[in-house]
Amino acid sequence: MNKAGRIAVIAVIAVVAFGGASVLAGGEDGADDAGTDLAAGAGGRSTTTSASDDGEDREANPCQVSDVVPVAEAGYEVTVATEPNPPAPEDTSIEVLVQQDGAPVSGAVVCVSAEMSEMNHAGVSKQTDELGEGRYGVEVDFGMRGPWRGSVVVIDPGQPAASMPVSFDIQ
């Protein structure tokens, strides 16, 4: 990924830090302050019901977690990139780089979810494939142009599940 792409990803992450509280708090009205703190990158814990909407149980869906911390609290550095950039409604590749203390994290379960909070339709929620060297990837069909908000969840054995807010401006 080139330098301009990395800068764009960082800018997207900064923007969503102010708007992702509802998604991270489970999308329910009256979200508690822990969800707001989590979206802003503070050290508070938050709970979420699932990274998937399809009713699968926890054993069948490793993305379903009940307690998450911010990625920084768990010691992760997470970078998200899309191809194309900006992402398209169909056939968008999302790549997530997960590092801890500068070293790639392998063997984790990494999930990406997003929704259009302004629209009343299903969002996207997918488990990534491990690509090697701390990289995880997934193909996504957003289906509509516009702003999408969600999260990346990293589940690494022996570590707390960690979440980072993300946003995508689908073009």
pLDDT > 70 in the chain, percent: 65
CATH of the domain at 64: 2.60.40.1930
Q: Which domain holds residue 115?
A: 3-170
pLDDT confidence of residue 2: 54
| Residue 138: count of CB within 10 angstroms of its CB | 18
Tell me the three-class secondary structure of 76-116, residue by residue. EEEEEEEECCCCCCCCEEEEEEEEECCEECCCCEEEEEEEC
pTM of the model: 0.67
Contacts 24+ apart (CB under 8 A), 20-23: 20/149, 20/150, 20/151, 20/165, 20/166, 20/167, 22/117, 23/113, 23/115, 23/117, 23/149, 23/150, 23/151, 23/165
Could you report the per-residue pLDDT of 122-136, keeping only the tens digit for each? 899 999 999 999 999
| Structural domain count, the chain | 1
